[in-house]
Amino acid sequence: MQSRVIICGVDTAGLPKLTQKENEELMKKLKAGDKAAREKFIVGNMRLVLSLVKRFWAKNVGADDVFQAGCVGLIKAIENFDLSFNVKFSTYAVPMIVGEMKRFLRDGNSLRVSRSIRDTAYRILKAREKIEERSEEATIEKIAKELDVKEREVVYCLDAISDPVSLYEPVYNKSGDTLQLMDQLCDESQSDEIWTEHVALREAIARLTDREQKILRLRYFEGKTQTEISAEVGISQAQVSRLEKNALGSLKREIS
């Protein structure tokens, strides 16, 4: 973040900085019911929230939303803080602010992911960091071995917490030539082998008689029964069955 950032209408560069002594004095006053001290304490500790926003930055939400969630956590911390805790307020408040931010990011996600999957995913991320710290490549196999889980579980959990990405997301841009994600995807259903088979099948069908072609079209493309076809073509059901069997045999011999 830059030093001067407007977030939720607040110029963060102008937020006051309170000393530890000022914080303690204001906390005593607000706990005694001083509303002015309460307001001053909240504003004076917004920098604490701001310092945590960057940690939970997400592509699919704005900084304003995360900051607001953090402020909710700050207020909850103020409400629950007890002077007898004998700890700094910031030490007590940070976990509550972080928890509120996490809750917002979790509940605001359009795709609901179970807690167990999220927990496993975070363990996987930690394991990946640990492996990379050893200057090793953090492969799926190594991560799975590190956590003693199956490789498919590692892949599934990482996919579950990944943010959706547009197919038109630029992944490379040089000299005005933009390469999008969709440019790197291929249609495996349209391989050269499958395309060749389609051509061979089309040519084999063309060599059937007109009646055989019509029977196969009605049977396999329009889903009609042999009885319905017999009524439409004007032959018996037995003849339809025989012609269909002969046509399929011819196709099999042509393309095998």
Write out pLDDT tens, residues 157-203. 887 766 555 555 565 555 556 666 556 566 555 555 666 677 788 88
184, 205, 232 - which closes a domain: 184
Q: Name the 3-class secondary structure at 114.
A: coil
Q: Count CB-CB contacts under 10 A for residue 179.
A: 12
Q: What does the alpha-carbon distance between residue 122 and residue 144 come to, in Å, rounded to a whole number? A: 13
Q: What is the DSSP string of 5-64?
A: -EETTEEGGG-----HHHHHHHHHHHHTT-HHHHHHHHHHTHHHHHHHHGGG--TTS-HH
Task: Report yes or no on 70 lying in a domain.
Answer: yes
Q: Taking the C-alpha atoms of 223, 229, 232 and 235 in order, what is their torsion angle to the nearest 10 degrees? A: 170
Q: Same structural domain for residues 67 and 158?
A: no
Sign of CA dihedral 129, 134, 140, 143: negative
DSSP 218: I
Helix axes 35-44, 20-31, angle to 10 degrees: 140
Flag whether pLDDT at 21 surpasses 60. yes
Domain that holds residue 14: 6-107
Distance CA 250, CA 223 (A): 21
For 76-109, the pLDDT digits (tens) are 999 988 888 778 888 888 888 888 888 877 665 5
Domain end point (choices 107, 130, 153): 107
How far is residue 236 CA from its own chain's centroid? 57
Tell whether 157 and 140 lie within a shared domain.
Answer: yes
> Could you tell me which residue, 116 or 189, shows the higher pLDDT?
116
Which of helix, strand or coil describes residue 164?
A: coil
209 band by pLDDT with thresholds 50, 70 and 90: very high
1 found inside a domain: no
Domain count, the chain: 3
CA end-to-end distance (rounded Å), the chain: 65
Q: Residue 1's pLDDT is what?
A: 40
pLDDT of 19 higher than 70: yes
Percentage of the chain modeled with pLDDT above 70: 73
Residue 50 corresponds to which tokens in the numbers above? 């701001």
Instruction: Write down the H helix ranges in the chain.
Output: 20-31, 35-44, 46-53, 63-80, 89-107, 115-133, 140-147, 151-160, 192-206, 210-216, 226-233, 237-255
- Are the C-beta atoms of residues 128 and 99 closer than 8 Å to each other? no
pLDDT at 157: 82
| Stretch 24-32: mean pLDDT | 91
Assess whether 36 and 124 both reside in one domain. Answer: no
φ/ψ of residue 10, rounded to 5? -105, 130
pLDDT digits (tens, 9 = 90+) for 119-131: 888 888 888 888 8
211 and 155 in a single domain? The answer is no
Segment 211-240, tens digit of pLDDT: 999 999 998 888 888 888 999 989 998 899
Domain boundary among 138, 165, 184: 184
Q: Is 83 part of a structural domain of the chain? A: yes
Please indicate, yes or no, whether residues 75 and 11 belong to a single structural domain of this protein: yes
The pLDDT value given to residue 29: 92
Nearest CA-CA partner of 140 in 130, 148, 129, 152 = 152
